[in-house]
Amino acid sequence: AVGDWAREHGFRLTPDAPEVLDFYAERSPYFLAARFDATAARDRGQGVGQGTPVHLTIPTDEPWVPLRILGLGRTAVEEVEADVFLLTEDRPALLAGGPGLALERRERASELLLDDLRSDQGMGWVPEDMWFSHLSLDTRAEDLDYDLAVSTTPGTRPSLAMAGVPEGQSRPVDDDTGLPWVPMAAVTGAVVVFAAVVLARRDRAGARVAT
């Protein structure tokens, strides 16, 4: 199990970590582990609360956004708040495994945004035309037992397996569905801000995901 490997290699895990890691291991044989180097962070002048971005380009046929892991180490009643940003080649179909996720914006991405992304190292493959979607997450940690599945192929439903739940629990995320939004609640713990940019490109190399 991933949890056993992590402990054997000196990673400290929260009590709920093995269950969450197994949740993801069931869908993929691959995982990535990164160790925070406090000395290196201090040498770079980073302070408490500052993050270090990690840029990965991964071929995938079915883009998805891991949401459940945002509740890792939190008490059941703690609020988890996050923002999810998607860039896809076509208007995406979105499937969440539970409530608490609302679609805020979905529109053609601006040339300014795409040009800026394309100027970054290793990002020259970004297409000339893409869809931009912004979703907000606001739910209690105990209810965040799902992920967000994305389909960028017209007429193809997002994968239930990628949403991480059985069909009866899943629900589409769309500005036309009229699904109720989970009301904003007072934040009882630290706020998590999660920005995931999914850049899906269907070509012979498959879709690419950068997070």
How confident is the model over 126-165, as pLDDT tens digits?
899 999 999 999 999 999 999 999 998 888 888 888 888 8
* Averaged confidence pLDDT in the chain: 78
Q: Which residue has the higher pLDDT, 207 or 51?
A: 51
β-pair type (79-88, 197-200): parallel
pLDDT of residue 186: 24
Asked if residue 98 and residue 48 are part of one domain, the reply reads no
Q: How much is the pLDDT for 39?
A: 86
Query: Is the pLDDT score of 8 beyond 60?
Result: yes
Is the domain of 13 the same as that of 42? Answer: yes
The model's pTM: 0.73
Residue 109 identity (one-letter amino acid): A
Whether residue 33 is found in the same domain as residue 77: no
pLDDT band at residue 175 under the 50/70/90 scheme: low
Residues 36, 11: one domain? Answer: yes
- The residue that leads in pLDDT, 117 or 155, is 117
Segments forming the whole domain that contains residue 194: 55-210
Give Cα 172 to chain centroid, integer Å.
16
Query: pLDDT by residue (tens digit) across 16-58?
Result: 999 999 898 888 888 888 888 888 888 888 877 677 778 887 7
pLDDT value of residue 172: 74
Beta-carbon contacts of 89 under 8 Å, excluding residues fewer than 6 positions away, are 127, 129, 130, 131, 152, 200, 201, 202
Instruction: Render 54-67 in DSSP notation, one character per residue.
Output: ---EEEESS-EE--
By C-alpha distance, which of 142, 19, 12 is closest to 74? 142
Whether residues 61 and 157 share a domain: the answer is yes
Q: Which of 17, 32, 52 is the last residue of a domain?
A: 52
